[in-house]
Structures are given as structure tokens and as C-alpha cells.
Structure 1
């Protein structure tokens, strides 16, 4: 009863649990499942309408209704997506309209990737087929002279591939990500692209972005220019891989990705400048709502900044949350509050349920929730620092605010990073404590000033000192990345372990009473989960051509290490083991690996063969290319009672984003003839 005013904060948690419940199913629920979810939602809401002031309907009826609504949101989002198409296995001619152009980071010449809509495949099997309903992402050759712009129709010979299946059961699901992103797959151009028809001019925004990048790199060549381009245009192609790795190892990779931090700084600086300018007039200060005007001006600056940096999905999510903050400021409500976060989270979950399973949304919601709850608890303490005299108290308050933000936001997202990236940066708090103030007080404000000075050709006045600040951040990232244990590899956390952490974090942050501390127990347990779960002993790739054996503290890959970089990277990240040079072991605990015909079958329990048409051994279970063709990647756990084999199809089940055997999608059938 004492916490009933905070029950509304649990609405997005219920939605998230319903969404997670839907995605954990092994089979599609179909229409009966959707109707059952709708019935539960109606009954729960009806119970609340019948007894609106009773606690039981609000807790149990509301909980059931939010679970069902989350389930229905995921169900609806899944069934309104077009199916993944069956792409040709051989090279084909692709004709499509460019909707986006991306520069891929590379140490050598930059490579452009085209997003093609309404793509038509010109080969004998696909002749006469309708255009694809999904986006094709084609990577051009580095020596291609074409200057692509959105709206251009291009024709290119390319080798296409569907979204890659998981490299191991429970691994990153790129097929599900592509299914909800609206992409059909990708490929690499084998020849030079050809523009068809009149070439449209670059869009005003695209051209502006390119001109801004050119001005920045002219004034700030090298690594400093790459960082400046990343934070002002959203493209980090000017940075070397070594510098990007240094940022990642120091826990500062988020400084290169335009998201909530950058948007908050841009909007905060804009609000402060507009408020200061309005305060210069006594009449305006007395008669105009300066606070609301400054907040709206900050939102406008944020919208322009998101558009300039490419309007990526994380930035759009952050802009949604920022718009809610501005609405709270204009209406006189508290800007940073858990109720505002709950409203924003509900909007994000209902509009993009599948994003709940991805790292950006999980990190954003966990960090903002920890910041809002921490501000709620420490607000009286900081208020006392302001009330007491002494300039040093105000300085101490600002330092404490920065330390609190780095500790809370970074600590809340540590398990998310462990689950999705398999790494842990122990020095991230110290690195962010120094780098974030530099970015907020020095780098980005000067970057915004340089954008205002570019029309007059005076951008160097701001870009040069901006480069000094970027140099300090670069030196800090390189120094911290060189410290002992700067980046630790940890075994990938399973999904249920991450769910335990997030639920414990919600319990700690959303309640106000002493029982909120009960959430610390599950959080501690979740941190130990990666080191307690049993890791597979053998892994077989989705195409059945590469196998890995866990041999002590190393991972042995064969028959040719380095042949499948993506698969091997996933294996190394999931098991937190380096790949050892040399061959793989032949037999272990009755499980044998065969990359050439062999005669001995005595004592063999399981045979993993990389040889097509291998006859195998009578009475011995065999994993080969046919097995992976049917059920995807394989993981083998060696136990005393015999080996346990888990396949990717066992793990994911039969869902719309799981491609059929052989990793083929839905045929692109022609339209029926009109009668």
C-alpha cells in the first residue's frame, strides 16, 4: 500500500516481460495465441475498471494486462513484416534505388555501402519477379569511381548472401535483427556500379554532411579529425582501427557513437546559450517564459543535430526521450523523473518491440533508470551543498554529479556489455570521469560553434581548440587501454542471466522503501552467471566446414584457422578464449573429429566429420554438413553420461525469422495474372 503510487513505474517492465515471453517461444503462437493474449488483456483491464481503487486488481490485473499487451505488440510487429526473400546463391545483376549511403570504417581507402530499395534481380531464376520488399545492402569495390547519392538508380553485378545464421546455439541472431530492420541481406559488388537514368543531385542534408566532413578534415587531419567527424556527422571512417580499439578498451567507445550523451550535451549547451541570451534583456526576463523558450530551442537544436548525424536509431530513441523531458520542462514537471522514463519506455517498446533484445535499448533504459533513481536519492544531499556557503561546495557538487553519473550509468550497463560483447573494462569509471567532462565542456561546444562559423569560412577558430580537447581524450584512451587488464574477455552471459540483472536493477530503482535493497541479491547473482554456466566443449559452424575444440585455456579451430572470421570471432567472444595456432585434437572422451577418411571406429560415441559423403561408423551418431544444413550450428557438451548435442534449430525453434533448412528464405514469386 505504501508503494502503490509507484506501481505505474512497473508498466514498461510488464510490457518488456511480455515481449521477452513472445521471443522465447520455440514455435509461432499463431492466431489462437494472439486471441488468447487479447483476452487476457481485456480481462485484466476489465477487473481494474470494475474495482479501480482496490490494490489486487491493480497489481494482478494490471500485471496480466501489461504482459499480454507486450506479447501482442511483439506478435503484431512480427506479422506485419514481409518474409525474408530467397536470394540467389550465385552472382547476379542487381538494379535498385539508393535510399542510403554509408561509409564503412577502413584503414585503407574508404568503402561505400549502398542500401537499395525496390531491388530487381536479373538472372534466369528471378526473371519477371516483383521487386524485393526489403532493403539490400551492397558493398561497392574500393576502386569504384561512382559517386552514389540517395535517389539514384544503379545497376551492379554482385554476390548476395542472406543474413548470417547464429555461429553457435544461443549466439548473436543476425537473422532476427535483419527481419525486424527490414533488410533482405547483403553482398559485395563484383564489378563497378552503373548509374541508370538522370543522376539526381545530392539531398541538401546529405550534401551538407559531406561538406561539413570536408571542412573538418581540412582543418583537423588525422585522428583528431576522425573523432570530430564522428561526433559532428556520425561517421567515424576517418579513424584508424587502432584508435577505435583504444576507445573500446578504455570504455569510451560510446563517445564515438552519436546517442543520448551527445544529444544531451548539444541540447544542454543550446538551452544554456538561449537562456543566457534571453536573460540579457530585463523586459524579456520579466514577461517571457524564458525557461520554456530555451527548452524548445534546445529540442530544435537536438532535431537538427540528429538529422546532421544521420538519424540513426539510437539517436532517434534518445530524441524521443529528450522530447519528453522538454515537455516536462514546458509543463512545469520534473525533467529527470522515473515517471517520464516510464512513459518514454512504453512508447519505445510498443513501437519497436524487437529492440528490447538489442544492446542499445537495454543500455539506454538501464543507464537512464539508474541516473533517475540515483538523482532521486541524492537530491537532498546535493541541495544541502548548495544551501551552505563556500564556492568549493558548488565545485564539489559538480564533481560529485559527474562521478555519480559515470558510476551509475556505467555500472548499470556493465552486464549488458558482458552479455552482448563479452568484454569488461575495469577502468571505465575513471576514463569516463575524465573524458566525459572534456567532451561536454570543451569538444562538443566548440564543435557546435564551428558549425555556426562554417558559412563564413571561420570554422578553424573553433576547430583548432576543439582538436586540442580531442587530443587529450585520444591520449587518455590510449593510456587507459594500455593499463593492465584494461579489457577483460568474459564468457557471454546467457539471456536469462541478463534478465535477472535487469529485473534486480528495476527492483532496486523503482521501489522507494527499504525492500528495494532486495534487488541487490539477484544483481550479484547475475554478475556470477557467466562464470557458472557450462560452456560447450566442441562447436561446429553453420556450414559444417569448421570445428572448434575447447582445450584448456585456448580454442583450437580447424581444419584451416582464419577461414571463417565472423564465426571464429563469435566463438572467441562467447567462450572468452583465444584461438590457438595449430591443428585440432583428434579424439576426446569418445568424441572424434575427422577431416580425412579414417578407419578406426572402436570406442567412438560421436563422430564430427568435415568430409562430404563420409560413410561414418555404424551405430555412431555423426555430425556433418547435412546435419548443419538441416539444423544449423551445433554445440557439444561432454558429460559423464555421454555427449549432449544442441543445435541452433533446437535453440531458436521455428520462427518467421529462422530460415528454412539450407538457410533459404521465401521465394520471390511473381504476381498472379489478372483474370
Structure 2
């Protein structure tokens, strides 16, 4: 640190001098503090009350006042800013959680549902039930992820429509007179239903409903928390045909027009590009991957190219880049515009408008909306003459996203987006001098080498920053993703998506084949690349579930490495290495009991044995397999009863139980307590009260962890038996 005369200021301690040298980077830690406060709220086991939240809010205000009173001092800026940011994140999470309506208590029987269609989603086709049996290799359908691969598209069912019903009313004897649900109810329509369904219609259907699923194992993915913040009441499957229950929809509604436009675009794409190329084209231009065969989607996932099918930051960046380039070229054709108009700013606005139109066309899904928010900041930076991609712009965008949706911090899309952008911004910030030196000098090869190096570094920076996030949320590792993305992303950026945009522009004139046909050539190259890379050795490696502290260590270590510029930034490598080793440092459960108490799993070396039979509860079994990274196999219990150390298992009602010397009895059928006096029993009633159960064996000692013990009493945790709050009728006026 130097003073005004240029001399070194040695009156301050070393740490203070280093922090003052980094004073322009201190503001970048604001979203990190917000994230710590959000994580602290969701780690609680009991919901804080209003007095506690008022105290936290007053603490944040006091810290802000301390900073305002002494803005030039280092201690208030560091300590006060950190405390204020953490407190603000904590309060924002509490406010966001308590402004949501409660989860309703859905009936456990077939009900007549009447509601208004808020959205129609086309889901990918599913394989027939016969394919869900256990493969001899130990994986369901022979694929590590539990999804079948290698089957031709003809084996699949037709695409399934899912309705988001708003203001849903349950028409049966028990729910008669109840007010409409305040949450969205998602119902899958029968594949053979011929009804033409569009948003805005009021429909009536007989469906089997179910609440949001609890974690399949203590500490697993929490579907109820996700539903709480997504506004979902639960899901269901239509048992009958959907019938209209209201007047026809006016044809000029925006949502109806957009849905009709998407269907028209998909139909015209598939008419020119049938099969898998048309499915990929429809996915990237309309956001619907329903026309893609399952084998192609699995190949993209195994090769680390699944992000090419999901409309998010990459696609939006390409669309806006193409639009900005086209606008600049169009303005350059006019001498007056080139000399007198702010062409760069006009092109940035045109790019932002094109990005917004693309997001609407693809369904305005949450990841795309987040990416559009970040893109708006980039466009604003271009308009104001600032650097387009910078750490400060990322900090502003991350702050807005965290305050708008605090719970999104716990989900994979936001974590991957922020980690990838931070890795790109910090990586190219450090590599900029080397890239400039590479292109400095005569020779066309230097510029070509620079562009090649930029592509390679982009794949390394973005992919490397998100690898542990993928491991934590999806339980897989794709070692060849860098090579696959190095070839596929340029094809998408300079060939496939620009031609797709040209096809959209030519559709009103009927000239879309001129662009779709060459677009299909590029898609076929990417498909061949995906299938080729997915067939390489160890293309998709299953890894055990990463604990929450491991993922937090990775994200914090990445922030430390990317947000500082001094040499101490390399201290962030320590938590990064710890995070990579985290999945192998924690104890794995030896036995798991499903949330409904009907299925159990026993860890037997490298195999997870399922009882009473594999395939009884496929979603839960897939979660177990992903968490433990083990292959599935049947549980062999002769006579329906067996013993595993201090744990006795009972799978059949007629089986005898040997509890002598045992500590725990796990039974899938009711059992009289007199059979095993003094032995702790885990059964359907235990799961009904406390959710999924995990048993850890430590020699003769047995440790049991329940889902309710892990999650605690929070607003989104349903009551015993996964029952929500009854939708009580409105009180009559006096």
C-alpha cells in the first residue's frame, strides 16, 4: 500500500495493507455474504419466530449504520458489511418462505379435479413398463442413471402432456365446499387423450393425486422444499379423459398465442427434419425435448453435453451475439447511422430484445429467465461503456437473483450458472495477458491459435468450476466433457443455432427448409459426437452423494480463488481439494428404509440389494442408487426373513423372526411387539411418523437417523404420513 507521495505505508499491519490493496474487490463478497445467510436459514432444524427475525433485521440495520458512519475505515467495511450481508440473506429467506401458502392435504384416492390450465408442458416420452425391470448388470434397464438407453425411438410411448392447473377444486364428498387450492396442481394427461388443451381453458378430469415427495433418504433431495418455493401443491396422473368445463378461450391471449406458436414451430421443424435431428432442433428453438428419443438424451448426458439441450445461458448468449452482430452489420450499411448514431448501444438493445423474445418462445423457464437477467446487466454495461463480462457485473446479478429467490441457491441451475460465470470471468481475467501475447505479432496462425485457446480455456474454466456441482446433484462425473464441449459448443455457436434463428425468420415466408436442412447437418455431427464420446471407457462415472458441507467448501473455495487478486487467493485450493474428497470421507448407511416403509435396501459391498423386490418403487430406488453409487440387485432373504449383524429383517408376513441378540428389527409387514421385546423396530408406522430411515452399523452399535430428525420442523416439511394443511371451507358471514 502506498500513500499520496508514492511511498510504502508501513504504519498499518500487513493484513490491513493487503486488504486495502484489495479494496475494490470487497464489494464482490456481498452475494457471498447473502449466500451464507441463506444457507444458515435452511440449515436450521426449527423455524425462527418473529422476535428472532426482528432482532436479526435490527442487527443488519445497525451494521449498515456503522458502515455509513465510518465509511473510510476498514473494520466497519469488513466486519459490518459481512454481518449485514449475512443477516440480510437470513431475513430474505425467512420472508420468502413465509409469504408462500401452505402445502394442502391432498386426498389419497382418485378425485375429480376442476381447474384452469396455467401451462401445458410436453414431457419426453417414456419407455413401456416392461423396460423398468432390473437389468442383469445390476442397473435398472442397464444404465447407471436408471434411464434406459440404446432402445430405438419406436419402443417409446408418445409424448405426454402435463397440465399446470390453477385454482383447482376437488369435487368429491369430503372436499365439497372447500375453497380452490392456492397452489399449482400438476396433472399428467393420458397419452391417448385427444383433447386440444391450451392455457386459459377450464377443464375437469378424474385423477389420482399425490403430495410432493419427501427425501428418499435422510439428507437427500427435498422435493417438498422445492415444491414449497415453486408454488406446487403436488402432482397427479389422469385416470380419465380431460373434459372442458368452461367457455372457450379468447384467441388473442398472449399465453395461448405463444403456445400455438411453439406447436406450429415444432410441427414445421419435424416436417423438414424428422427423427433425432428434428428433436434436437425443436429442443433448442422451442425448449421442448419431447421429440428426442431417450437414447439420444442419454448420450448427451453421458458425454457431458446435456446443457446443449437445456435453454439457458449458452443459448441466450449465442442468440444475443448473433442478433448484435446482425444489428451492427445492418447499421454499418448506412453511412449516416455509422457516423452519427450510437450503433454499439443500439445493437446491444436489439440483442436484449432478441434474447427476451427467445426466452418467451422457449417457455420462459426459470433458468432462462435468470440468464436473461444476467444478459440484461451485460447489455447495460455495453450501453454505459463498461466491460461486458466482469466480476462486478456478476456480483450485481448474483445479488439480485439471491434476493429475488433465496431458495434457488440450493438448486443446481443457479449454482452451476454462478460457478460457471465466475470461473469464466476470473479465468479470462487472469489469462488475458497471455492471450494478448499469443496474438501479438504477424501471422494468421496467431489469431487462430488465440481463438482455439479461448475455446479450450472456456471449456476448462466453466466445466471445471461446475464439475463438483454436477457430482453433488446428479451423482455422476463425465471425464471427457472438455473434449466433447470443445467440439460441440463451436458447432452450436457458429452453425446450428444461427441457422435455427434464420429458420425462424424464414418461417413466415415458408423458406425454413433453406436453413433447417444445413442445420440438420450440424446436428447430426453433434449427435455422432455425443454417441461416440458416450461409448468411450468411463464416459459416465457414478460417484457417491456429496455432503452439504463438501459442496459448500467447493463454492466458498471457488469464491476465494476467483474474487481475490493477491497471492493468498491460492489458499482457496485447500477447500477445493477437501470438497473433491468429501464424498469418500463420510460414512455410508448400511440399510435404508423408504419413506412409506414398503421398500428397504441393504448395502452389500459394491451392490445395493433391494427388498422385497427391485422395481417396487423406482423413483426411491434411483435416488438410493445415485446417493451410494452402487448397482442394484435383489435382496435374498430365504423364507422372507434374514439377519445382517445386529439388524434383523422381515419381508413377508409368514416369516419367522430371529431377534435374539439383535438391536434393531426392520420389518415391511406389521408385527406384534411381543415377538421382539426390547428390540427397536423400524416399520411402516415408524416411516409414517418420521419419514425415511438410515441405519449405520458400527460393530455391535447401531445408529439410526430419520428424515424428520435431519430436516426438523420447517414450513415445507409435511406432517406425519406426509399430510399437509387441510383446505378448510371459508367461514360463513355472520
TM range (shorter): over 0.9
Alpha-carbon distance in 2 for matches of 1:632, 1:300 = 48
Alpha-carbon distance in 1 for matches of 2:111, 2:242 = 13
Structure 1 residue aligned with 2:262: 209
Alpha-carbon distance in 2 for matches of 1:647, 1:58 = 42
- TM superposition shift of 1:628: 0.5
Structure 2 residue aligned with 1:550: 603
Alpha-carbon distance in 2 for matches of 1:350, 1:600 = 56
Q: Which moved more, 1:378-387 or 1:559-568?
A: 378-387
Pair 1:388 & 2:441 matched:
yes
Structure 2 residue aligned with 1:128: 177
Structure 2 residue aligned with 1:35: 54
Alpha-carbon distance in 2 for matches of 1:223, 1:591 = 50
Structure 2 residue aligned with 1:637: 696
**2:721 counterpart SS class:** coil
State TM-score, norm by structure 1.
Answer: 0.99
Alpha-carbon distance in 2 for matches of 1:77, 1:599 = 49
- TM superposition shift of 1:599: 4.2
Structure 2 residue aligned with 1:96: 115
Structure 2 residue aligned with 1:650: 709
- TM superposition shift of 1:201: 5.3
Structure 1 residue aligned with 2:664: 606
- TM superposition shift of 1:386: 3.5
- TM superposition shift of 1:122: 0.6
Pair 1:625 & 2:678 matched:
no
Alpha-carbon distance in 2 for matches of 1:174, 1:101 = 21
Structure 2 residue aligned with 1:664: 723
Alpha-carbon distance in 1 for matches of 2:24, 2:246 = 62
- TM superposition shift of 1:617: 0.4
Pair 1:577 & 2:636 matched:
no
Alpha-carbon distance in 1 for matches of 2:293, 2:551 = 33
- TM superposition shift of 1:311: 0.3
Structure 1 residue aligned with 2:511: 458
Structure 1 residue aligned with 2:643: 587
After superposition, give the CA deviation of every residue in 1:59-101 in whole Å (9 maximum; x if it has no partner): 0000000000000000000000000000011111000000100
8 Å CA contact retained: 1:382, 1:397: yes
Alpha-carbon distance in 1 for matches of 2:336, 2:221 = 59
8 Å CA contact retained: 2:113, 2:205: yes
1:193-342 mapped onto 2 (5 Å cutoff): 193-200=242-249, 203-342=256-395
Alpha-carbon distance in 2 for matches of 1:662, 1:498 = 31
- TM superposition shift of 1:641: 5.0
8 Å CA contact retained: 2:440, 2:446: no
- TM superposition shift of 1:536: 0.4
**1:211 counterpart SS class:** helix
Contiguous gaps of at least 5 residues in structure 2: 1-19, 126-155
Structure 2 residue aligned with 1:361: 414
Alpha-carbon distance in 2 for matches of 1:450, 1:350 = 38
Alpha-carbon distance in 2 for matches of 1:108, 1:627 = 38
**1:151 counterpart SS class:** coil
Out of 65, 72, 89, the residue aligned to residue 53 of structure 1 is 72
Structure 1 residue aligned with 2:87: 68
Alpha-carbon distance in 1 for matches of 2:400, 2:657 = 62
Out of 505, 518, 528, the residue aligned to residue 581 of structure 2 is 528
State TM-score, norm by structure 2.
Answer: 0.91
Alpha-carbon distance in 1 for matches of 2:577, 2:672 = 48
8 Å CA contact retained: 2:591, 2:600: yes
**2:112 counterpart SS class:** strand
Out of 386, 402, 409, the residue aligned to residue 455 of structure 2 is 402
Alpha-carbon distance in 2 for matches of 1:12, 1:312 = 23
Q: How many residues align?
A: 675
Alpha-carbon distance in 2 for matches of 1:583, 1:287 = 81
8 Å CA contact retained: 1:549, 1:557: yes
8 Å CA contact retained: 2:118, 2:164: yes
**1:119 counterpart SS class:** strand
Structure 1 residue aligned with 2:241: 192
Alpha-carbon distance in 1 for matches of 2:396, 2:507 = 39
Out of 6, 21, 25, the residue aligned to residue 40 of structure 2 is 21
Alpha-carbon distance in 2 for matches of 1:313, 1:188 = 24
Pair 1:12 & 2:31 matched:
yes
8 Å CA contact retained: 1:149, 1:201: no
Alpha-carbon distance in 1 for matches of 2:246, 2:363 = 26
- TM superposition shift of 1:281: 2.3
Contiguous gaps of at least 5 residues in structure 1: none
**1:76 counterpart SS class:** helix
- TM superposition shift of 1:607: 0.5
Alpha-carbon distance in 1 for matches of 2:474, 2:434 = 36
8 Å CA contact retained: 2:38, 2:90: yes
Alpha-carbon distance in 2 for matches of 1:177, 1:575 = 22
Structure 2 residue aligned with 1:434: 487
Alpha-carbon distance in 2 for matches of 1:10, 1:97 = 44
Q: Which moved more, 1:498-507 or 1:190-199?
A: 190-199
8 Å CA contact retained: 1:538, 1:547: yes
